[in-house]
Structure 1
């Protein structure tokens, strides 16, 4: 039995190398493969990939894993037991007692997602909480969820929150779309112009979201640093 406060699930050093190693180790401990080798052909495999990715990204941030992932300790234990039973992770008593102190912003996004669930079981409620928590991080949402590209985020939302995903028919950035949906549901207007193409913030809502995943990018940076030759200079005295 593996304690969930040992290496892949505990906060370690905050330098970039350990961040990458911690994220990859967390993902691999849960799935048995590195993120780039994930098989997501079936919905069940895709769900496990998504959950492992979010937990890996949360572990890279340091601090208490449940808080970074948006779950209570008991929710984290239930998720691990249900979706990764073969790993045999036992959540420590300290983490079990953890309760999330969510702010209003997180709660609003979580409730928006909860109202739009399209799959059965507890995974929808876990994902709603996890997505809402990760949405307050500064990068593209797919990056802060630890996913490999934006397409995986679109698939995730279309699968588990289909009614909400269907409303994004213009392919707006998902984080921006969440806040626009919240405003519309409250009868408010977030935008300064009625037509998106006439708006000065068009690129903020619809701009490019491609690039490397957080783990791939940081892993590459670490490899480049370690491969760089060290040049010593003997200064005259």
Structure 2
């Protein structure tokens, strides 16, 4: 609904198209979780309204006046991660501010970060971070899972030691930090569910 195309067919060749795809994916994933969308994406009502106006102007917000009164409501954990991302921005404009809040909020969800952002794979998340938060992304030289990497950076910036061994390969948690992140995207999973539901009446009538 936001982009006019199925997520699987999204054209992300240009940076502008990629940014629009990312924002749409995050909003879609948050909507699937239920509840107030602005809270689920870590934005205030005003920020969400600005995002929709700039990137999805055809979308009309219901009860816009009520939406604009919604303040940003984030946990201390999300606020700390958002500050880390904001300090490592590599692009100008509103989108970096929005993405910092959105990534920080979605990072507290239980799945792989790329899944809870609604992206199609880890590669899209790496491109997103490399584009908008390049200094931070460049520090992940060992290809650690992004969520684990963020929290490791936060611990080290505070002078804490997160790891129990000096070498990652000797650590019992190696698979938690570097394991496989493949799987079906949330958008693909949702599309499959919709197609299956649509097929049920047909099957029942045959």
Unpaired runs of 5+ residues, structure 2, are none
CA separation in 2, counterparts of 1:101 and 1:83? 23
Find 2:32's aligned residue among 52, 60, 67: 60
Alignment match, 2:185: 213
3-state DSSP class of the match of 1:197?
Answer: helix
CA separation in 2, counterparts of 1:160 and 1:183? 22
Deviation at 1:137, TM superposition (A): 0.5
Residues 114 and 147 (structure 1), Cα distance of their counterparts in 2 relative to 1, 3 Å cut: same
Deviations 1:191-216 (A, max 9, x none): 11110000000000000001110121
Alignment match, 2:161: 189
Q: Which moved more, 1:165-174 or 1:214-223?
A: 214-223
Alignment match, 1:133: 105
3-state DSSP class of the match of 2:84?
Answer: helix
Deviations 1:90-113 (A, max 9, x none): 452221111122111000110000
Instruction: Please give the TM-score of this superposition, normalised by the length of structure 1.
Output: 0.81
Unpaired runs of 5+ residues, structure 1, are 1-28, 231-237
Deviation at 1:88, TM superposition (A): 4.5
Deviation at 1:223, TM superposition (A): 3.9
CA separation in 2, counterparts of 1:227 and 1:88? 29
Matches within 5 A, 1:36-115: 36-85=8-57, 87-90=58-61, 92-115=64-87
CA separation in 1, counterparts of 2:168 and 2:193? 37
Find 1:199's aligned residue among 157, 171, 179: 171
Instruction: Please give the TM-score of this superposition, normalised by the length of structure 2.
Output: 0.93
Matches within 5 A, 1:148-159: 148-159=120-131
Q: Is the 8 A contact 2:43 2:101 kept in 1?
A: yes
Instruction: Specify the structure having the higher radius of gyration (Cα).
Output: 1
Alignment match, 1:8: none
Deviation at 1:69, TM superposition (A): 0.9
Q: CA RMSD in A?
A: 1.5
3-state DSSP class of the match of 2:39?
Answer: helix
Q: Where has structure 1 moved over 3 Å in runs of 4 or more? A: 221-230
Deviations 1:134-181 (A, max 9, x none): 000011000000001110000000000000000000000000000000
Q: Is the 8 A contact 2:168 2:174 kept in 1?
A: yes
Residues 204 and 216 (structure 1), Cα distance of their counterparts in 2 relative to 1, 3 Å cut: same
Deviations 1:20-65 (A, max 9, x none): xxxxxxxxx2211111111000000000000010000011111111
Alignment match, 1:123: 95
